[in-house]
Every structure is written in C-alpha cells, then in structure tokens.
C-alpha cells in the first residue's frame, strides 16, 4: 500500500497541497523541461528529484526558479505514483535505474497526447508512505519515500489489452485502446507499463476471476480487439501479453 504523508517542513521546501487524493504544486506555465532525474538513499528514506529547467525540444537553458504545475496521484495493482507534469516540452533521456533501491522498482514515461505535458510513473516493490514537495530557486519536484510495515495484499484479476512494444509499434495503438474503452465510462481505465518496456491499457481490476470474466463477456462484443485477464499482485510488474 502507498500512503500519503503531508507534514510541515521549514523552507526552502514548499509543501504541495493535498487535494482529492492528489499532491498538487508548482505554477501554471509553459516552456519547461525535466532535464535531470535523480534518486538517492538517505537515512530512513529514499528521495526522487525531478529538476525543472527552462527550455523546449531544441534548447535547454538554466534551471527554473519555480517548478511547473504538477499533480501526483497514488495508484494500486501495481503500486505506483503517477506524475502529471504540465507545461513540459521535453524530458531527460535517462531514468534512474534504482539498482540500489529497496523501495523503487521502475520508472518510465506514459504516453500523453499533448505536446505540452508529460506523464511519468514510478513503481514500487514495497509498501511505502510518501510525501511530495517542491523546491524553489532552483525549481525541483521532490518525492520522499519511506517503507511501511509489510502488509498482505490479495491478488486481483486485471481486464486488459495485449502489450504494445513502443519501439516496434506506434503509441497510437494505446490511444485507440483508450478511446475504444472510453465508452465503458469506467474511471479506472488507465495505461500501465509491462515487462520488456511494453505498455498496455487496463479496463479495470476485479476481486475474483468470475467478476473479471463477466466484465470481459459484457465488453468484448463491442470491441475490435481482444481483452485478456491477468492475475496480479500489488507489486507485480505486469506480464507481456502478445
């Protein structure tokens, strides 16, 4: 389980607001770049830092004084934080490897069909609590993560599409999956990373195989692609389904 933590800190940290389950911060702007992403081990916690610079696709200039507007949401199965970063025109080419991390397992970009925004997802392999805050002069978005007492989480049954290999297929396939599943009006529809640097769209997850099978039967006739059911634990990176 991921658990949000929002406590008072002295400057230069600027605490982000917790609104409707989202950490929200920064300023509404444009022409920003996430040029560096750093992960570090500290006494009792791990820290992920996104450094915000001025710039665009062609030119990265000095670090921004204030971070761009951002929202950070917690999600489960798999346990992850999703960063929606507005006003961003480019991102760092390398993500942290988390080779020495106990808590983080993986981080990558999610497709977004807006040239002035970026969505990142960081995945966890342990139950954690976290806090998100921003720093000014220079502008940074910081996430501190601490381990929680280990909890038992039952498996769920995910109703999902096949995996897409972005290096071989266009991410427009993801957009088509999202668009076609939109008619379900299920707010749980989302894009998730799977193994081997692939992506897929999940319609939702269910407590039992019977519930998942009933949902597939309800939806399948209205779709021109096949839905699959995957049993998955809280911290499992989903499998590749071809």
Range 127-141 average pLDDT: 94
The whole-number pLDDT of residue 7 equals 41
CATH number at residue 9: 2.60.40.3500
**Could you tell me the pLDDT band of residue 22, with boundaries at 50, 70 and 90?**
confident
Tokens of 141: 């978005």
Residues 64 and 130 in one domain: yes
Of 90, 120, 147, which closes a domain?
147
Residues 143 and 181 in one domain: no
d(CA 197, CA 240): 9
3-state DSSP assignment of residue 90: strand
pLDDT > 80? residue 1: no
**Could you tell me the pLDDT band of residue 186, with boundaries at 50, 70 and 90?**
low
Residues 66 and 133 in one domain: yes
Which structural domain range is residue 185 located in? 156-232
pLDDT > 70? residue 150: yes
Residues 171 and 205 in one domain: yes
Residues 26 and 59 in one domain: yes
The pTM of this model reads 0.89
What phi, psi does 182 have (nearest 5°)?
Answer: -65, -30
DSSP assignment string, 114-146: -TTEEEEEEEESS-EEEEEEEETTTTEEEEEEE
pLDDT greater at residue 58 or residue 170: 170
Residue 118 resides in a domain = yes
Residues 138 and 161 in one domain: no
Residue-wise pLDDT tens digits, 34-85: 988 999 999 999 999 999 999 776 677 889 999 999 999 999 999 999 999 9
Residues 106 and 190 in one domain: no
């Amino acid at each position: 389980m991921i658990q949000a933590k929002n406590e008072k800190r002295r400057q230069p940290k600027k605490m982000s607001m917790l609104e409707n389950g989202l950490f929200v911060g920064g300023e509404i702007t444009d022409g920003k770049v996430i040029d560096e992403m750093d992960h570090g081990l500290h006494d009792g916690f791990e820290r992920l830092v996104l450094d915000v610079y001025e710039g665009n696709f062609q030119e990265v200039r000095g670090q921004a004084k204030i971070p761009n507007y951002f929202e950070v949401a917690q999600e489960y199965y798999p346990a992850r934080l999703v960063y929606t970063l507005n006003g961003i025109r480019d991102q760092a080419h390398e993500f942290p490897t988390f080779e020495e991390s106990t808590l983080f397992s993986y981080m990558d970009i999610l497709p977004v069909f807006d040239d002035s925004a970026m969505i990142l997802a960081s995945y966890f392999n342990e139950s954690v609590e976290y806090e998100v805050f921003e720093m000014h002069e220079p502008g940074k978005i910081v996430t501190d993560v601490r381990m929680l007492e280990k909890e038992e989480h039952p498996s769920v049954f995910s109703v999902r599409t096949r995996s897409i290999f972005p290096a071989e297929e266009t991410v427009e396939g993801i957009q088509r999956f999202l668009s076609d599943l939109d008619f379900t009006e299920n707010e749980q529809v989302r894009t998730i990373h799977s193994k081997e640097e692939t992506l897929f769209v999940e319609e939702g997850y269910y407590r039992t195989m019977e519930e998942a099978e009933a949902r597939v039967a309800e939806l399948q006739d209205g779709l021109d692609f096949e839905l699959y059911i995957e049993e998955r634990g809280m911290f499992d990176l989903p499998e590749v389904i071809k």
